Chain A
């Protein structure tokens, strides 16, 4: 970030940390509802059955992989947009 003094930088970073925590919690709860929704629809038993457990772990794994890949494309896209700003201005 341009033009922040060391003290401002520190304040900024502490806020970012709080924000990251919040982001993480948001991601967690999103993942829980998504994978629950995708994997669990049999309520003839009380605890997760093998199929459901497997599905949940594949769901999380795939989410991570997809997230990683999207993050790469996102960074490239950002870099590209910085290099050539939108028309006008």
Chain B
């Protein structure tokens, strides 16, 4: 993710570059898995009377995903505010520390 790049590190080694690409993939995979687990749990009842997603379930998943992203954004915002309020002097200790 480009937000982790650009610290002007003198050329990273191959291993580092691959590890970074891998970490990025892990992040995305993890996020997807979390989203999936959360929304399936909330939207799909445990009685499996039919195999298709019904309309309600589909719409629920759409909204659940949208809200999941919203919450993600919101929390990222709040944490940043917190960090700014706490250490106006402290040098950029972002979360996700890479």
Within 8 A of B (CB), among A40-86: 55-63, 65-67, 69-71, 73-74, 77-78, 80-81, 85-86
Determine the interface band of chain A, counting residues with CB < 8 A from chain B.
35 or more
Q: Are A63 and B61 in contact (CB under 8 A)?
A: no
Check A70/B51 contact, CB under 8 A, given A12-B22, A86-B77: no
Residue from A4, A7, A37 with most neighbouring chain B CB atoms (10 Å): A4
Q: Are B76 and A16 in contact (CB under 8 A)?
A: no
Bound form: Cα–Cα A23–B28 in Å: 13
Looking at the assembled complex, report how far the CB atom of B72 sits from the nearest CB atom of chain A, in whole angstroms. 8
Check A86/B73 contact, CB under 8 A, given A70-B39, A70-B61: yes
Enumerate chain B residues within 8 angstroms of A19, measured Cβ to Cβ.
Answer: 22, 25, 29
Tell me the B residues contacting A by CB distance below 8 Å: 3, 14, 17-18, 21-22, 24-25, 28-29, 31-32, 35-36, 39-40, 43-44, 46-53, 57-58, 61-62, 65-66, 69, 73, 76-77, 80
New contact pairs (4) apart from A12-B18, A66-B39, CB-CB < 8 Å: A4-B17, A62-B44, A81-B69, A89-B3
